[in-house]
Amino acid sequence: MMAKNTEIVLTGRRVLVTGGSRGLGEAFVRALVQAGARVIISDVLHARGQALSDELGEAAHYVPMDMSDPIGITQGVNAAAAHWGGLDGLVNNAAVTNSGGKDMNALSIETWDHVMAVNVRGPWLATVAATPHLAASGSGRVVNLASDTALWGAPRLMAYVSSKGAVMAMTRSMARELGPQGITVNAVAPGLTVVEATAYVPEARHQFYREGRAIERAQMPEDVTATVLFLLTRSSGYVTGQVLPVNGGFVMN
């Protein structure tokens, strides 16, 4: 079922969503299509990405993209722009965790480097590749997916938490660099969301979140989509360089 975000209108907006074949990425894709956008789904899960594109019809198109591959990122972004004749928005959603449940002294350098490559270097390079297309749009929008784990210091998740803290800092610098070209850059920091990718998280951590939120219930993908969609609209043009926690009040700025 598509999330209901019919109050947000994105008719004709051309948006690339990385990691768009499942979880929050899939929720963003479905909500964007419902709001009238034309979407490029990118991922390394090719069968799932293509199946989602086929299901959504003419409003969606799948482009393979590995966020650990610098050349592939540039090629993928350019292919996405070529398909729709430009880009109005980029959602840097793709990420890996890989460090969950491990003390920091148990992490390998290879794991650390891979998490940083996908979660930090990938969004940087995707944004660089998308910048000319977003500037040509006249109202380009970048939304980076951070995480509230970097706001409260989640333990035993060091590589992921560090990468999402870097995404927040990068968002602010990007906003200043790209603002003169009419491009806004913001980050959304969800809390622990019930999706396929969080199935590994122990129930005790889910309970910790539920009890610590001002809104005491599980966080679902549809709790995040409306915020992301708003930041992709033309109406959000004076909001930039911000990190918006969307976590039911678990962390409050």
Q: Which residues are catalytic?
A: 160
Quick one: tokens of 203?
């129930």
Quick one: which H or E segment has residue 136? helix 122-137
Residue that the structure tokens 């969004």 belong to: 123
What b-and-e string marks burial along 239-249, b requiring 16 or more CB atoms within 10 Å of the CB?
bbbbbbbbbbe
Q: Which two tokens stand for residue 241?
A: 């360089």
User: Greatest CA span in the chain, whole angstroms?
Assistant: 49
How far, in Å, CA of 201 to CA of 60, rounded?
31
* Residue labelled with tokens 């009238």: 36
Q: In which element (H, E) is residue 99 found?
A: none
